Amino acid sequence: MPADLEIERVVNAKVGIVHLGLGAFYRAHGAIFIEEAVARSGGDWAIAGVSLQSPTTRDRMAPRNFEYTAVELGPDGETRRDVRIIRDVLVAPESPEAVLAAMASPDVKIVTLTVTEKGYCHEPSTGRLNQSHPDIQKDLANALPVSAPGYLVRALQRRFAAGLAPFTVMTCDNLPHNGKVVRGVVLDLARLIDPALADWIEREGRFPSTMVDRIVPATKPEDIERLSAVTGRNEDGLVVHEPFRQWVVEDDFVGGERPDLGAVGVELVSDVAVYEHMKLRMLNGAHSSLAYLGYLSGHKTIADTMADEALAGFVTRLWSEEIIPALTPPPGVDLAGYAAALKARFANTGIRHLTWQIAMDGSQKLPQRILSTLGENLKAGRSSPRLMLAVAAWMRYVGGVDEAGAPIEVKDPLAARLRELFDSAATAEGKAAALLGVREIFDPALASQLQAPVAEALGLLLSQGARKSVQSL
Ligand code: CS2
């Protein structure tokens, strides 16, 4: 098929998808898959992006009319492509009305989301809507929303009133049972607003779960400078990513309407859970462990961390001895091979993924990435010294002071409280007990089992430092 025809299909496609939370990840993953599906099979699946917080992405992308460059950084060099599937970027705080109107358009069939773990305003331990969340309080009181669940519910309310079908809500965030989570918060919020609306969404709505994977570090100003010096054009919308990508999608869409994702390598399955567990625990669990231990050991990026033999050995054994034994492999997947591939992906020096970036929002990430495996190992009587050390390293990290005595800029919705808890006791036992008491993160039964081993690991970290602690295992 001539490339011109493919480009024509992409640039002529009308908007059929609204995406909430237009960060680098979606532009380097979902948007590219969707563009390829449209190029291949056609369909009105162009994307209108929405930034829920700041105008930065819109301002960066507007000069090129929302077309942008995606650079793939492989171990053997880079490949560039122009992505043309995004038509517009709306900034929610500037024009909530325009966002709702876009979502309520009869042409829009799917709303995709990457709003990060905390964007769902749920209680991670129960998966239910956190009704006392300040944004949810606002969304209950006003028809123009601020939160992602608020936008979904208010837009669905307009569609319900207009006699339209609901859009499919497809989350692309790294949460277990992500479809169920978003469905749960939408139904909880809708029920508080209008029970008839909630009943309609419950009956007609579709919320496929997905597993998404591609390593996409935040774009750095020097990446933009370097590329625009080469291309001579505005590259402010640049995204950089690794070659690997995977998207596993539960094939459950309103009226079966979706882009031809299966034609471009998206795995359409009836149950995403096994894929999700594998990815969240093996990739993200190892990422978070390396982020805390690597940061404390003085490493700036994951690739630097992997170049340190002590940490590379640590993560290899973390996979084989502690994470893989607790997993059921997806059909046809060899988990040892998956681990070997992850090792190579993490070691890719083209990708400068900051340990600090991955360390962000640990309170929202720990349960599904690390604690779920820990809980299963405890039940099965398997020891998990490396996962215990990772939890202790998170504690040391949220304490806010690094091993050289310098402050750590901890980004987490619970940062202030975590810091206070760390400082509330003088001993490793006391610090561990205080932090294990945070109910949003630790289930009480698990917390009591973690107390002794995590306190011991934290003691080691405080006296020996991260690198030596890793070597001692
Ligand atoms: C990372 C993820 O920042 C993080 O917490 O672990 O963004 C990770 O790079 C992606 O999930 C890879 O698919």
Which of 269, 286, 309 is the last residue in one of the domains? 269
Give the model's pLDDT for residue 124. Answer: 74
> Which residue has its alpha carbon closest to ligand 1 atom 5?
358
Mutate to test the pocket of ligand 1, among 117, 287, 290 (most ligand atoms within 8 A of CB): 287
Which amino acids bring their CB within 6 angstroms of ligand 1?
174, 213-215, 283-284, 287, 357-358
Which of 269, 297, 326 is the last residue in one of the domains? 269
| Closest-lying ligand 1 atom to the alpha carbon of residue 212 | 13
CB atoms within 10 A of CB 331: 7
pLDDT in tens, 153-202: 999 999 999 999 999 999 999 999 999 999 999 999 999 999 999 999 99
CA 351 to centroid of ligand 1, rounded, Å? 12
Taking residues 378-382, report their average pLDDT. Answer: 97
Same domain membership, residue 367 and residue 260? no
Cα-flanking dihedrals φ and ψ of residue 82, to 5°? -95, 130
Same domain membership, residue 325 and residue 192? no
Give the model's pLDDT for residue 2. Answer: 61
> For the residues of 273-332, what is the DSSP string, one character each?
HHHHHHIIIIIIHHHHHHHHHHHHTT--BHHHHHHSHHHHHHHHHIIIIIIGGG-PPPTT
Same domain membership, residue 294 and residue 226? no
CA 108 to centroid of ligand 1, rounded, Å? 28
| Closest-lying ligand 1 atom to the alpha carbon of residue 214 | 13
Give the model's pLDDT for residue 1. Answer: 54
> Which residue has its alpha carbon closest to ligand 1 atom 4?
358
| Closest-lying ligand 1 atom to the alpha carbon of residue 213 | 13
CATH number at 100 reads: 3.40.50.720
CA 357 to centroid of ligand 1, rounded, Å? 9
| Closest-lying ligand 1 atom to the alpha carbon of residue 358 | 3
CA 361 to centroid of ligand 1, rounded, Å? 12
Give the model's pLDDT for residue 248. Answer: 98
Q: DSSP E strands: which ranges in 32-151? A: 46-51, 68-74, 77-83, 86-91, 110-113
Same domain membership, residue 28 and residue 141? yes
* The model's pTM: 0.96
**Does the structure show a pLDDT above 90 at 76?**
no
pLDDT in tens, 432-453: 999 999 998 999 999 999 999 9
Name the pLDDT band for 262 (thresholds 50, 70, 90): very high
pLDDT in tens, 222-238: 999 999 999 999 999 99
Same domain membership, residue 278 and residue 265? no
> Which residue has its alpha carbon closest to ligand 1 atom 13?
213
Residue 170 pairs in a beta bridge with 112
CA 177 to centroid of ligand 1, rounded, Å? 17
Cα-flanking dihedrals φ and ψ of residue 246, to 5°? -150, 140
Name the pLDDT band for 302 (thresholds 50, 70, 90): very high
> Which residue has its alpha carbon closest to ligand 1 atom 11?
213
Same domain membership, residue 127 and residue 82? yes
Same domain membership, residue 294 and residue 217? no
Same domain membership, residue 375 and residue 249? no
Same domain membership, residue 265 and residue 159? yes
At residue 217's C-alpha, the angle toward residues 212 and 221, to 5°, is: 145
Look at residue 122 and give its three-state secondary structure: strand
Total domain count for the chain?
A: 2
> Which residue has its alpha carbon closest to ligand 1 atom 10?
215
* Residue 11 structural domain: 3-269
> Which residue has its alpha carbon closest to ligand 1 atom 1?
358
pLDDT in tens, 275-291: 999 999 999 999 999 99
CA 332 to centroid of ligand 1, rounded, Å? 24
Name the pLDDT band for 316 (thresholds 50, 70, 90): very high
Taking residues 287-313, report their average pLDDT. Answer: 98
CA 463 to centroid of ligand 1, rounded, Å? 30
> Which residue has its alpha carbon closest to ligand 1 atom 9?
215
Same domain membership, residue 168 and residue 315? no
Which of 215, 239, 269 is the last residue in one of the domains? 269
Mutate to test the pocket of ligand 1, among 116, 174, 178 (most ligand atoms within 8 A of CB): 174
Give the model's pLDDT for residue 293. Answer: 98
Percentage of the chain modeled with pLDDT above 90:
97
Name the pLDDT band for 24 (thresholds 50, 70, 90): very high
CATH number at 429 reads: 1.10.1040.10
Determine the Cα–Cα distance for residues 247 and 86; give it in Å rounded to an integer.
19
Determine the Cα–Cα distance for residues 208 and 125; give it in Å rounded to an integer.
21
ipTM of the predicted structure? 0.99
Percentage of the chain modeled with pLDDT above 70:
99
What are the strands of the beta sheet with 239-241, ordered from one edge?
A: 77-83, 68-74, 239-241
Same domain membership, residue 18 and residue 53? yes
**Average model confidence (pLDDT) across the chain:** 97
Same domain membership, residue 159 and residue 213? yes
